[in-house]
Amino acid sequence: MQATDKITSNPSNVLFMPGVFNETMQLLNDAHEYFFLFGDDDQNRIDAQLRSLYTCEMSRITLRLSSIMSWIMVQRAVFTGKIAREEAAARYNLDFQHICMVDNRMLHGVLPSYVCYLLDRSLELYERVVRLDDQFRQLH
């Protein structure tokens, strides 16, 4: 059993938004497996001029997913009463929207297809969390 299986299979660890949490964990696992197993080979196969772009987009995927996970943990802390909603709203925001909301569709056919898949999925998930964050802010 992998670490992500232990986290997602224990309901006491996921008190808030299990669907978004589980999807984020699965995408983190998918990205990790790709980068660990195929990332170096794919990066070496692409044109040298595109390698920095490839590295930047790998970082964008990681940033999106880590920002989402951080946001989920703050929302969970608010839900369980460990952080006041006002404090969360003032101190803990969904970070790096100016970087994470970049649409990467123009990279299809330029970067390896699985990187584009991860970019698309992470952007879709990040956009959903932005909408959730907006809804939470309007409610409180």
Q: Please write the tens of the pLDDT for every residue from 96-128.
A: 999 999 999 999 999 999 999 999 999 999 999
| pLDDT over 70 percentage in the chain | 88
Say whether pLDDT at 79 is over 50: yes
Interval 48-54 mean pLDDT: 92
Q: Is the pLDDT of residue 10 over 80?
A: no
Angstrom distance (rounded) from CA 12 to CA 22: 13
Predicted confidence band at 140 (pLDDT cuts at 50, 70, 90)?
Answer: low
The predicted structure's pLDDT at residue 138? 79
Question: Assign residue 28 a region: left if phi > 0, alpha if psi is -120 to 50, beta otherwise?
Answer: alpha
Measured between alpha carbons, how far is 33 from 5 in angstroms, rounded to an integer? 14
Question: Hey, where are the domains in the chain?
Answer: 47-140
The answer to whether residue 2 scores a pLDDT higher than 80 is no
User: CA-to-CA distance for 28 and 22, rounded, in angstroms?
Assistant: 10
Q: Identify the bridge partners of residue 108 per DSSP, sorted by sequence position.
A: 111
Structure tokens at 2: 């992998």
CA distance 32 to 55: 14
Q: Binning pLDDT at 50, 70 and 90, where does residue 7 land?
A: very low
**pLDDT, the chain, mean:** 87
Q: Read off the pLDDT of each residue in 39-59 and give the average, rounded to a whole number.
A: 93
